Amino acid sequence: MEQTVFIEQVKKNLKSNAFFLNCKIPMGYTAGFPILQVRNGSLCVTFPYLRYKTTGVVDKTLVYPIRYMITMELPTEKILLFEDLEYNEKFRNIDFRKPVGYFRHEEIRQYNKARYKALYDELMQEYDKVINSLIYCTDYSAEDEKRMKELLQLLVEPSLLPMYKALDNDFYNKYLAKG
């Protein structure tokens, strides 16, 4: 019997997974926007982890590079990979102790907390649509894909785009590359 996968529930389940807890991701790190991939015919989701540090100044919360990532198979939620990117050759020139940007970037400064949350929730619903269409062949339209792309391009911090590109060029080109 087919179930519906909800990305927010997957993320919540991950937090209580024994493997995740043993990864010892330091406190203060939070999951960024998930990356979807098909690996050997299986749908997988990668959760990138990064940290933010408040400065006390509006729109000047420091954004640090993505440091950790956990990849899971869907819908089983089996953990396939954990990686500390500090030890990945692709990121040898990244100083993970230095911020790469600020939250809230220029394009989202106009939104209050409630509007930002509404856009975030809508994006998570778009993730749900694409995930369930790939697993259970549910409806997914060109308009759905367009909206997911618009929301990701709006909400992902521009300073993190090079890392998203390095983590998964296909996902980056499909959803995050402008133009």
pTM value is 0.93
Indicate the pairing of strand 35-39 with strand 78-84: unpaired
**Per-residue pLDDT band at 1 (split at 50, 70, 90):** very low
Q: Which pair of tokens denotes residue 134? A: 């790939």
Q: Would you say residue 179 lies in a domain? A: no
Residue 154 class from Cβ within 10 Å (0-12 exposed, 13-18 middle, 19+ buried)? middle
Residue 160 resides in a domain: yes
Q: Is residue 175 part of a domain?
A: no
Band of pLDDT at residue 2, cut at 50, 70 and 90 = low
Is the pLDDT at 178 greater than 90, yes or no? no
Q: Which domain holds residue 110?
A: 7-167
Between 1 and 74, residue with greater pLDDT:
74
How many separate domains does the chain show? 1
Identify the pLDDT of residue 66: 98
- Say if 131 falls within a structural domain: yes
What are the pLDDT digits (tens) for 130-146? 999 999 999 999 999 99
Q: Specify if 53 maps to a domain.
A: yes
Domain assignment of residue 33, yes or no: yes
DSSP H or E segment with residue 126: helix 113-136
Task: Residue 10: name the closest of 59, 45, 57 by CA.
Answer: 45
Burial of 125 (0-12, 13-18, 19+ CB in 10 A): middle
The answer to whether position 173 is within a domain reads: no
Banded model confidence at residue 3, pLDDT cuts 50, 70, 90: confident
What are the phi and psi torsion angles at 157 (to 5°)?
-60, 125
Q: What's residue 21's pLDDT?
A: 84
Only one residue has tokens 């409630």, namely 114
Distance of CA 84 to the CA centre of its chain: 16
